[in-house]
A and B are shown apart, each in its own frame.
Chain A
């Protein structure tokens, strides 16, 4: 066994020596390394800057809300509040859908302001080409480099007539395949070193070590898939130019064509109404809930009757709670129920589109690795949806907290007379201490275990790709002839 490994390593080492001595291979490696270093630096700096900015903005928004003077609580409902999604540490590797989704949200009463997707296009476009990230360099450019360097691994031996002497030394075709695979895999894994460094930096900034390790493992699996594909083509094809052509076509299909087909198919298979259409439908439904600013609206007659009966009084003026505040609470609950239902429906459609698009990962390892990478980096669609839900929970809590202050601390008589009576108006100004109903917002990525579980399907798909391509390659190598 040691003897065999030593022979395989000898061939692999000779290949590395060749790449180091060939100007073309060395040049390509250097260009890729420079691109990777530059992209990694830019992505890491950008992520760090965004982290700093959003942390600062979140604190500033909270301070601004809490520093508001004494005033009517409903003015605070409309004053509103901002929440910011602080980028996950691993977004320095893969910003995922963050670049196409909103990172901040204005929270106010009676409205859900959100950056929703128009369709699956944004989620499935792999982040787009406009932002070159470390993840994109690994997903798109590393396979190209491996193709350029590795397409001739076995064909070259055949074309240069060194295959026969190699096999005549007692090597079998499978051993030669394994040795060349080791050479290419060794180079590929070495090129993951910058990714490992970034993973370590992310871990030092709070990313779960397990998630950082998993993202490196996922990309290792991905590059090994390309190694097996390249070796398979190099084993089966008899001309370097044809192998290069086939592998370039494979790259085009995996990186550009299949993702585009996946996005278009997802949009067709899971049609989603446009934002405008959704908004019009939602507004029509919201009108049936009633305007919380108008306590005399027929929509709140039942609430009035219930409260009068509950407190055994005949006039709202005699209620121990402010009827207007109670109406505001009821209206907000009703509006939120409608808005949440529409938001959930929309998010379910987006998730279904994303799932449909992800199933094309069986045709493209690029799609597969990008889905897994986003899940592990906590920059996927599911994480964005969680941000929307958590932000909405904060919005609802602080609005209802203010409405509760309105209902329980502000006298109804003062409330209805505040525009006519200066003293009443002064008394409706609630203490700023009440603004502490606002909870601090801190959006955290899902636990590492959950993210790894989410990435397990893409990882399993990549493993299936790897096993299938390697098995076919070994079968082809068994019949290797000079």
Chain B
């Protein structure tokens, strides 16, 4: 298996504070992994470091075997990143948003290609010409996922992708993530939703105050990670803090 993302004894400081301390994990191609933790655990910091927005204080953050800070452009070309709030332009419709971001990423933006991606994320055809400010959070998330699909990036970094979605939308989203992984995409998502992470991820890394507090794997032949074990570990750390 090719290793797509590799955090090696990664430490990061922000505003003089160490927010990530000696964290190590790797994500292979086609895997879905989740970073789970409470607020301030260092989850989003990890993603931003892979993207080259933050520089490690020590250790390394590698994308496709290369240090991201050494070639930020290459790292960002390999990654499709969805921030926490699905950030799209309110004054543009779905097509316009997709075309805008795709043209910046020098990716294909033909109408047929866009429709195919929007079909895949199940965004209603009648909504596609409407401006984004009329969209629900779930609909916006679908457009953002469509963008990630269209970017054809081998790696997806998703920051709190199901936050604020209704249960049906979360189910749709989890299904889509699994499909993308089956297509060979590597997905690292950040969440504090224990249940959702256990259902969608192959492996969960529990982060607490910038340190890796545990790792949970999905046993072979079982469709989810042991929710109770993860929940118990999460609750223990939450209680300690």
Contacts and interface: CB of A to CB of B under 8 A. Distances in A.
A162 interface: yes
Given A164-B83, A168-B81, A482 B53 contact: yes
A17 B93 CA distance: 12
Interface stretch (B97-105, B113-121, B214-222): B97-105
Please list the 5 inter-chain residue pairs (A to B) with the smallest Cβ-Cβ separation, ordered nearest first: A168-B81, A169-B104, A161-B87, A169-B105, A162-B87
B103 A10 contact: yes
B104 A162 contact: no
B76 A168 contact: yes
A169 B87 contact: no
A7 B104 contact: yes
A166 B89 CA distance: 11
B13 to A, nearest CB: 14
B91 A169 contact: no
7 contacts: A14-B100, A17-B96, A161-B83, A161-B85, A165-B83, A166-B104, A169-B104
Contacts of A169: 76, 101, 104-105
A167 B73 CA distance: 10
Contacts of A7: 103-104, 106
B103 A170 contact: no
Contact of A6 (B54, B90, B103): B103
B123 interface: no
Nearest to A21: B91
A472 interface: no
A22 interface: yes
Nearest to B104: A169
Contacts of B81: 164-165, 168
Given A165-B81, A168-B51, A482-B48, A3 B106 contact: yes
Interface in A194-217: none
Interface size bracket, A side: 20 to 34
A171 interface: yes
A11 interface: yes
Contacts of B188: none
A6 B77 CA distance: 17
A82 B76 CA distance: 76
A21 B81 CA distance: 27
Interface in A137-173: 160-162, 164-171
Nearest to A156: B89
A481 B84 CA distance: 16
Given A14-B100, A171-B104, A165 B91 contact: no
A18 B96 CA distance: 12
Contacts of A6: 103
B83 A170 contact: no
B105 A170 contact: yes
B51 to A, nearest CB: 6
A166 B80 CA distance: 11
A425 to B, nearest CB: 90
Contacts of B91: 17-18, 21-22
A14 B53 contact: no
A56 B72 CA distance: 72
A170 B87 contact: no
B127 to A, nearest CB: 18
Contacts of B165: none
A99 to B, nearest CB: 43
Contacts of B79: 168
B88 A170 contact: no
B180 to A, nearest CB: 17
Interface string B55-89: 00000000000000000010011011111110111
B92 interface: yes
Nearest to B103: A10
A177 to B, nearest CB: 15
Contacts of B84: 161
A14 B88 CA distance: 12
Interface in B122-175: none
Nearest to A10: B103
Given A18-B89, A167-B76, A481-B53, 18 more contacts: A14-B92, A14-B100, A17-B91, A17-B96, A21-B91, A162-B87, A162-B88, A162-B89, A164-B83, A165-B87, A167-B51, A167-B53, A168-B76, A169-B76, A169-B104, A170-B104, A482-B48, A482-B83
A482 B101 CA distance: 16
Contacts of B83: 161, 164-165, 482
Question: Among the interface residues A22, A167, A171, which one has the most CB atoms of the partner chain B within 10 A?
Answer: A167
A298 to B, nearest CB: 89
A45 B79 CA distance: 61
Contacts of A165: 81-83, 87, 101
A166 B88 CA distance: 10
A21 B132 CA distance: 13
Nearest to B105: A169
A7 B73 CA distance: 15
Nearest to B84: A161
A239 B156 CA distance: 30
Contacts of A167: 51, 53, 76
Contacts of A481: 53-54
A211 to B, nearest CB: 42
A283 B92 CA distance: 76
Interface string B34-66: 000000000000001001011000000000000
A182 to B, nearest CB: 14
Interface in B169-211: none
Given A161-B87, A162-B88, A482-B48, A10 B53 contact: no
Contacts of B80: 168
A167 B105 CA distance: 10
A164 to B, nearest CB: 5
A170 to B, nearest CB: 5
B5 to A, nearest CB: 15
Contacts of B106: 3, 7, 170
